[in-house]
Structure 1
Amino acid sequence: MTTLVIATKNAGKAREYRKMLAPHGIEIKTLADFAPIKINENGHSFEENATIKAQTVMNVLGLPVMADDSGLVVDALNGAPGIYSARYAGDHDDAANNAKLLRALADVPDEKRTAHFHTTIVALKPDGTKLVANGRINGQILRQRRGENGFGYDPLFYVPSLHKTLAQLTAEQKNQVSHRGRALRQFMNDFPEWWQVE
């Protein structure tokens, strides 16, 4: 096996994975390299959705696939937006999602605006071997945006230990502390064994 498919069309994400997997001499492909594959993400958890993505793509291509699912979990909203984070107020519309989140939390006092970001990565091989890695970062939801970097809910997600939002961090700083960065480090730790096992 020399090819791993990342179940994403996101060029930034693909770049990140290529860099981390480079030492293993693996060719990285993404969904952008193939004809469109219809994925019905109808799971009820991050792991279910990531598994559906990986399984669907693997069934079509017959290659090892890695997929992830991430989201924002807000305690005062009983875990919403959760698995619906990217389409909370419309499909992948960051501004609308942030506005809806602020409206939903308008009457929630600062000390109850706790939240965390979560990422689950699932990798599957055609022989059925599965690798799962998780990452999370805790924080609070601010009342107004701060910072110009990042994407999604980053400008509203404040990390008390850093005294900054995720959108106020450089890409490198964010990778050190973010949910995706933590999940990726766990994934890379377990990857060599998973990749070799036949």
Structure 2
Amino acid sequence: MRIVLATSNQGKVKEFQSWISEYEVVAYSDIMEPFEIDETGTTFKENALIKARAVYEKLDTKNDIVLSDDSGISVPLLGGAPGIYSARYAGVNANAKDNLHKLIAALKEKNVQRTPAFYTAAIALVCQKGEFCVHGWMHGEAIAEERGNNGFGYDPMFIPCGYNQTLGELNESVKKVFSHRARALELAYIVINSLK
């Protein structure tokens, strides 16, 4: 059984390969021409399912499982922003640093140095046996500064509950244990094993 990831992001591919190591895990872009997928959902779950369905429909064989994730950070003080728009918070052509700096600026505008925040990960699985979606969360605080060079995205401004350092300062192995994606993957793994 092969797991096809609805991503061409090699960082994500490596991450998933290390978590689901006994299965063959490939990026969809390794087996077909990459194509644009319109994420028109209003929730992480909807967007994860949209991506997984789009790739599954184009597969030559329907024996594969397509796995897709949609994730982001939400800051209640900012009405839940950036939420599902985490990857394009600073605009369509913005990069991860642009998004990070925009969120830091938004906190400074509110005159706060730190505020509650949480990450959400929705992992969708689409296969012959149906569609499934699981979630994982990581709670903590967003701070109005950038600290550390580890991780990616908003990691340098997020301090998880129980820690004093940002995800940008913590060792990657620590994050792997309790991150939102790790928690969602634990549940996805149970679903994958039930689909054998």
Q: Output the TM-score relative to the length of structure 1.
A: 0.89
Confirm whether residue 114 of structure 1 aligns to residue 116 of structure 2: yes
In structure 2, the gaps of 5 or more residues are none
Match for residue 14 of structure 1? 13
Confirm whether residue 48 of structure 1 aligns to residue 46 of structure 2: yes
Following TM superposition, by how much is the alpha carbon of 1:134 offset from its aligned partner in structure 2, in angstroms?
0.7
After the TM superposition, which residues 10-89 of structure 1 pair with which residues of structure 2 at under 5 Å, given as runs? 10-23=9-22, 26-33=23-30, 34-61=32-59, 62=62, 63-89=64-90
Following TM superposition, by how much is the alpha carbon of 1:51 offset from its aligned partner in structure 2, in angstroms?
0.2
1:8–1:110: structure 2 CA closer, same or farther, 3 Å change rule? same
Match for residue 157 of structure 1? 158
Secondary structure at the counterpart of residue 168 of structure 2: helix
Match for residue 3 of structure 1? 2
Match for residue 179 of structure 1? 180
Separation in structure 2 between the aligned mates of residue 96 and residue 141 of structure 1, nearest angstrom: 16
Secondary structure at the counterpart of residue 74 of structure 2: strand
Separation in structure 2 between the aligned mates of residue 38 and residue 79 of structure 1, nearest angstrom: 26
Secondary structure at the counterpart of residue 146 of structure 1: coil
**Structure 1: which 4+ aligned runs deviate by more than 6 Å?**
none
Secondary structure at the counterpart of residue 133 of structure 2: strand
Alignment root-mean-square deviation, CA: 1.7
1:37-63 Cα distance to aligned partner (Å, 9 max, x none): 231111100000000000000001144
Identity of aligned residues (%): 37
1:178–1:35: structure 2 CA closer, same or farther, 3 Å change rule? same
After the TM superposition, which residues 84-95 of structure 1 pair with which residues of structure 2 at under 5 Å, given as runs? 84-90=85-91, 91=93, 93-95=95-97
Separation in structure 2 between the aligned mates of residue 56 and residue 39 of structure 1, nearest angstrom: 7
Separation in structure 2 between the aligned mates of residue 51 and residue 30 of structure 1, nearest angstrom: 16
Separation in structure 1 between the aligned mates of residue 110 and residue 116 of structure 2, nearest angstrom: 10
Match for residue 123 of structure 1? 125
Secondary structure at the counterpart of residue 167 of structure 1: coil
Separation in structure 1 between the aligned mates of residue 50 and residue 39 of structure 2, nearest angstrom: 6
* Segment drifting more, 38-47 vs 12-21: 12-21
Separation in structure 1 between the aligned mates of residue 109 and residue 38 of structure 2, nearest angstrom: 35
1:126–1:38: structure 2 CA closer, same or farther, 3 Å change rule? farther
Separation in structure 1 between the aligned mates of residue 97 and residue 114 of structure 2, nearest angstrom: 23
Separation in structure 1 between the aligned mates of residue 107 and residue 158 of structure 2, nearest angstrom: 13
Higher helix share: 1
1:8–1:77: structure 2 CA closer, same or farther, 3 Å change rule? same
1:102 to 89, 104, 115: 104
